[in-house]
Amino acid sequence: MTFAFTPGRPIGERELREKLGEALGGWKFQGKRVLVVVPDDTRTLPMRPIFETLASTLSSQARQLHVLVALGTHPPMSEEALLRHLGPGFRDFPGVRVLQHEWNNPQALAHVGTVPQEEVARISCGLLVEDVPVRINKAALENDLLVVVGPVFPHEVVGFSGGHKYFFPGISGPDLVHTSHWLGALITNPKVNGHRDTPVRELIERAAQLVPTPRVGVSLVMRGHDLVGLYVGEVREAWAAAVEQSSQVNIVWTDRLYSTVLSLAPPMYGELWTAGKCMYKLEPVVEDGGTLIIYGPHVREVSLTHGRWLLDIGYHTRDYFLGQWERFQHVPRAVLAHSTHVKGIGTFRQGVERPRIEVVLATSIPPQVCQQVNLAYRDPCSIRPDEWQGQEDVLVVPNAGETLWRLKGGYVPDIDRL
């Protein structure tokens, strides 16, 4: 039975601590080794009170309590970043150890099984036909109970984030990271984002069945920086309940398309790898031939982890890669997926690539690098976002990246029309 708290207003910190403690009271932690899986600082949630509540509640009961930051392929967090994320006293809980996922360290991973190619073909409707090895951080197998914590937002790869996505790719090995992201790219962001049941979600849930450790899910719904929903229970059930609310508060339905969208990246996105979300969530409301500008003077890197690949291949549409697969099949598929998601949908016919919209970077990534990676550049100093507000045919979106914008009437951009 899922514990749900949705008061119809923002949930304060004290109330969160009380309700989370109450919800955890229905689970048995006594004498167990417990691993809490949490997101990194590229997700909006009240992580400090959640961490402190879990640490104070569980450390007195559990035989061992570890917290694993689900980085996916993101860079490790610094001590300073952990202090901001978990709270200045996160080292003050005796017996609570904080770990960070290492996706590319084979010694940190365990193989739990394989999703066979027959199932992958069925799940993907024939887009992929391959065995997918399932590897996960060893800590998920070395504990008696897992607590999976995370917010639920519309998501470009899986439809909605949260739940077992904090296993795959959160604490996953590379195989499922690349397969799931590429499958989402093949389907395309506009057809995946904001849909609960997608082929990628089914693949993730199938992989999660191979993880034997019992677990409980803590799914959160945010409206901006306000917590508005708390769900605790079986992971899939808590996630599904959160999706229902998130689809109401984190999808904005508009009556029109815009020729120009100014998408303002929040400070938590320090590289284009994450700031790309400012494109993914707004691509559906840019008209054909329009322009989307990612504005973020604080964005200085393409990607700390994958930058060398992206500087080599650049940003292109899905069909550009598929039409020249022999040139790009050696590239990690999560990198190809990110590239196509940032560039957006488009065509590649008779050797000519035609993206549906133009993507412009108004960041601290230099113009020569923008040119190298096949994205347009604009000096961020030339943009004053407040002056763009109210301009005809222009949409300005502050703190972009977590709220999905869609056109009323079910319109979805599709390359078949181009």
| Helices assigned H by DSSP within 163-234 | 174-187, 189-192, 199-208
Of 169, 190, 180, nearest to 123 (Cα)?
Answer: 180
Question: In whole numbers, what is the pLDDT of the chain averaged over residues?
Answer: 96
Task: Give the model's pLDDT for residue 387.
Answer: 95
253-417 placed in CATH 3.40.30.10 = no
Task: Give the model's pLDDT for residue 413.
Answer: 85
Task: Give the model's pLDDT for residue 265.
Answer: 98
**pLDDT of 300 strictly over 80:** yes
**pLDDT of 378 strictly over 80:** yes
3-state SS assignment for residue 197: coil
**Mean per-residue pLDDT for 317-334?**
97
3-state SS assignment for residue 199: helix
Task: Give the model's pLDDT for residue 223.
Answer: 97
**pLDDT of 173 strictly over 90:** yes
pTM of the model: 0.95
Q: Quick check: 242 and 274 in contact, CB under 8 A?
A: no
Q: What share of the chain is helix, strand, coil (3-state, %, to 5)?
A: 35, 25, 40
**Mean per-residue pLDDT for 339-346?**
98
- 233, amino acid identity: G
**pLDDT of 410 strictly over 90:** no
Confidence of residue 165 (pLDDT cuts 50, 70, 90): very high
**The pairing of beta strand 109-115 with beta strand 132-137:** antiparallel
**pLDDT of 149 strictly over 80:** yes
* Separation of first and last alpha carbons in the chain: 47
Superfamily in which the 3-249 domain is placed by CATH: LarA, N-terminal domain (3.40.50.11440)
Task: Give the model's pLDDT for residue 324.
Answer: 97
Helix (H) or strand (E) holding 69: strand 64-70
Give the rounded distance of the alpha carbon of 346 from its chain centre. 23
Helix (H) or strand (E) holding 115: strand 109-115
Q: Which two tokens stand for residue 312?
A: 């080599």
Report DSSP letters for 276-330, one per residue. THHHHTTGGGEEEEEEEEEEETT--BS-TTTHHHHHHH----HHHHHTTHHHHTT
Longest dimension (CA), the chain: 66
**Mean per-residue pLDDT for 150-155?**
98
Task: Give the model's pLDDT for residue 400.
Answer: 98
Confidence of residue 332 (pLDDT cuts 50, 70, 90): very high
- Separation CA 339–CA 306 (nearest Å): 11
pLDDT tens-place string over residues 268-281: 999 999 999 999 99
Task: Give the model's pLDDT for residue 60.
Answer: 85
Task: Give the model's pLDDT for residue 26.
Answer: 84
Neighbours of 332 (CB within 10 A): 16
Question: Would you kindly state where each structural domain of the chain is located, as residue ranges?
Answer: 3-249, 253-417
Q: Quick check: 101 and 137 in contact, CB under 8 A?
A: yes
pLDDT tens-place string over residues 237-256: 999 999 999 999 999 999 99
Task: Give the model's pLDDT for residue 415.
Answer: 73
Task: Give the model's pLDDT for residue 59.
Answer: 85
Q: Which two tokens stand for residue 54?
A: 């879990």
pLDDT tens-place string over residues 84-121: 999 988 888 878 999 999 999 999 999 999 999 999 99
Confidence of residue 411 (pLDDT cuts 50, 70, 90): confident
**pLDDT of 202 strictly over 80:** yes
Of 185, 72, 200, 209, nearest to 134 (Cα)?
Answer: 209
Confidence of residue 128 (pLDDT cuts 50, 70, 90): very high
- Percent of the chain whose pLDDT exceeds 70: 100
